[in-house]
Amino acid sequence: MTPKEQHFEGLGVAVGIAIGPAYVRESGAVDVPERRIPKKDIAPEQKRLQVAIRLARRQIRLLQTRTTAKSGVNGEELVYLLDAYLHMLQDSRLVRGAERRIAENQINAEAAVNAEIAAIAEVFHSMDDSYISARIDDIREVGNRLLRNLTKTPIKPFSAAPSGSIVIAEQLSPADTAQLDPDQIGGAATVGGSAEGHTAIMARALGLPTVLGASGLTDDIKTGDIIIVDGNAGHVIVNPTARTTAAYERRRTEHRKQTRRLDRLRNIPAVTSDGVAVTLQANVELPIEMDMVTQAGAEGIGLLRSEFMFMNRDDIPSEDEQVAQLKSVIGVMGKRPVTVRTLDVGAEKPVAALLNGIDPSAVSNLGLRGIRLSLAQPNALETQFRAILRAANSGAVRILLPMISTVSEVRKAREILKKSAAKLTRRGVKVPDPLPPLGVMIEVPGAALAADALAQHSDFFAIGSNDLTMYTLAIDRGNEHVAHLFDPLHPGLLRLMEFSANAALRARIPISICGEIAGDPRFTALLLGFGIHELSMTPSNIPLVKQRIRELDMAAANHRAAVIMDQVDAGRIAMLLDDFNALA
Ligand code: PEP
Ligand code: MG
């Protein structure tokens, strides 16, 4: 029987249309390719597993020592948990089962561990006991550590997915999304997530048509089912009929044609119809995005989210490795500015190696996130500063601090920057003179309200409208349940942005905006009207925003922004802005 066509609605967070087979990712599972092995390799493969187990036990014991030395009550709990992990690596079902599968199924150790975890998880699920179901995550944690030790390199998830697959999952973390290879994966759709979360940002950066927040999507979808993801409208269609597929193929062709038309704007300046030049820069997460940055004609990098280079690995990149990564970005930009943001770790973007005994719950959105974690771990910040300073010798680098809320944080960070520079000089390493400009993100409401004071201590501002919206309106930016309430046109938020822009203009320091609204042509007139003439966005949106700027009259935009700022109702503001946009 032909399967029935099913439709799901979600949020189209990365444009484009993808059609391909589903690759359903089980939550928490790590994808590893399965390999058949000859009989003679069974014993060596079992030995490889034993070596990985011994290494995992050593790693966990080391973690226990560090935890005992560092923390209090939470640390004690962690020590017990790690004890449980050690037990799971003894003569447990996981270990015995994996060994048996290697022998009976003649498969590689990675696939055997994966299959055993899946089997244990299934048994646990069927027990309907909340304590036991919570243990599934622990087993997965131990299993994933084994897999990492076995492969010796960071595991590339989804590598088993056939070319052009659409990844389907309950939830994809930003770190998972960073591992989707656009040459292999066609698109993605998930039940969780929202448009301003870092998963959405990463999907846009990779140019993967993506729908998030599609409720019920995973209920009965199977790997191999044909899927259409419409990232423009937020539709996901499972098992489409031939007629539906043909209609979406036409749309896909049209979308590609439109993208090519916009590509022609690459070398044309972003100037308003009355002659005001606007700077359009790119937001970048990983060096692999640099082709897109060049293709989009970005005039610089307004935000390099350095934390993505620290994800999907067990260790912290060394100073030399960080220099190499930064240089690979700076080298492409030549003389064009590159704004490197120091680590914004925490909340949606955990970096295990930096937690170092800190309870993960302490790095929530309101916890030790961004600059707070960096100031709590000055050694890691110093290393990062040294790497940035060394890389800055080969380009026009600026340094940006995330999650700033007080002047004292800027002062402390500047002190550490100077100390890092002095250390390099003592080592005989050249350091840019003067030091690169040190700017701050305006993304915490308190920072926006104190923007005049911060402007006295900062060399530039970058408004992070994503977090500024989240913290001002108390709406989790990655949560599908409140995604519809996330409204950047809320008058409270606009006032904070206008106040910050005025503070920067009065202090004569540059101001840019790098939140998602910077890349949405709907908001361009309003942002220019605030006096913000530097916009940084996901590279693929640069042509769209440029097109909008070229048809805009700056004087009219200024006037409309002033009218909007007299309003108190978000609905009326939206109407005034959309009417203005429709006039163009
Ligand atoms: C922001 O918060 O708007 C921002 C640009 O930073 P991120 O999205 O990385 O939190
Ligand atoms: Mg932010």
| Per-residue pLDDT reduced to its tens digit, 95-109 | 999 999 999 999 999
- 149 confidence band (pLDDT: 50, 70, 90): confident
Active site residue 198: yes
Amino acid symbol at 74? N
**Angle separating helix axes 109-126 and 42-70, nearest 10 degrees:** 60
- Which residues partner with 107 through β-bridges? 36
Give the position of tokens 């993100």: 441
* Nearest ligand to the C-alpha atom of residue 205: 1
**Contacts (Cβ under 8 Å, ≥6 apart) of 303:** 281, 283, 284, 339, 341, 400, 462, 514, 536
Run of H or E including 13: strand 11-14
Res. 327: pLDDT tops 70: yes
Active site residue 514: yes
Phi, psi (deg, nearest 5) at residue 24:
-85, 125
- Which residues partner with 346 through β-bridges? 349
Report the candidate in 555, 445, 505, 467 with the shortest Cα–Cα distance to residue 198: 467
Ligand 1 binding pocket includes 514 (Cβ within 6 Å):
yes
Helix, strand, coil proportions of the chain in percent (round to 5)?
Answer: 50, 15, 35
Least confident of 131-140, 242-251, 263-272, 382-391: 131-140
> Would you call the peptide bond into 434 cis, given omega within 30 degrees of 0 as the criterion?
yes
Q: Cα(584)–Cα(570) distance, rounded to whole angstroms?
A: 22
Question: What is the tens place of the pLDDT at every residue in 474-494?
Answer: 999 989 999 999 999 999 999
Q: Whose CA is nearest to atom 3 of ligand 1?
A: 464
Indicate the pairing of strand 235-238 with strand 226-230: antiparallel
**How many A from CA of 560 to the centre of ligand 2?**
27
pLDDT computed for residue 73 by the predictor? 47
Q: Which two structure tokens, joined as six digits, stand for 278?
A: 């606007």
SS3 state at 511:
strand
**How many A from CA of 443 to the centre of ligand 2?**
6
Report the candidate in 443, 538, 454 with the shortest Cα–Cα distance to residue 493: 443
Mean pLDDT, residues 263-274: 94
Q: What is the pTM of this model?
A: 0.82
Write down the mean pLDDT value for the chain.
91
The full set of domains in the chain, from first to last, is: 6-28+156-251 (3.50.30.10), 39-151 (1.10.274.10), 273-582 (3.20.20.60)
Amino acid symbol at 130? S
- Count CA atoms within 13 Å of residue 418 on its CB side: 5
Which listed residue (125, 198, 481, 533) is catalytic?
198
Res. 77: pLDDT tops 70: no
Cβ atoms of 88 and 138 within 8 Å: the answer is yes
Residues in the chain: 584
* Nearest ligand to the C-alpha atom of residue 202: 1
pLDDT computed for residue 153 by the predictor? 57
pLDDT computed for residue 69 by the predictor? 57
Least confident of 137-146, 231-240, 307-316: 137-146
Mean pLDDT, residues 320-349: 96
Tell me the best of 304, 466, 537 to mutate to test the pocket of ligand 1, counting ligand atoms within 8 Å of each CB and taking the most: 466
